[in-house]
Amino acid sequence: MKKSGVPYGSDVSAGTYTCDDCGYKYSNQSKTSLPPCPKSKSSPHKKNSWTIQTGQGDAIDDPYP
């Protein structure tokens, strides 16, 4: 599933994600929610979201916050 604009803090499954602001690649093994991009403190991030590259994302009946 590839989906962009998934906000920080969204409940997700394990997978690979790319920061929508800087392109940082993040591999989520067992987290329940997406953290902020680690590069967001050193450079401005306006979108504050990720693109799902692999993984299930959030459940249909439990949408992103």
Listed by start position, the domains of the chain span 3-40
Which 8-state DSSP code applies to residue 34? Answer: P
- pLDDT value for 2: 79
- pLDDT (tens digit per residue) in 14-34: 889 999 999 999 998 876 788
> Does the pLDDT of residue 63 top 80, yes or no?
no
User: How high does pLDDT run on average in the chain?
Assistant: 84
> Does the pLDDT of residue 64 top 70, yes or no?
no
Q: How many angstroms separate the CA atoms of 54 and 10, rounded?
A: 15
> Does the pLDDT of residue 56 top 70, yes or no?
no
Q: How many angstroms separate the CA atoms of 30 and 28, rounded?
A: 6
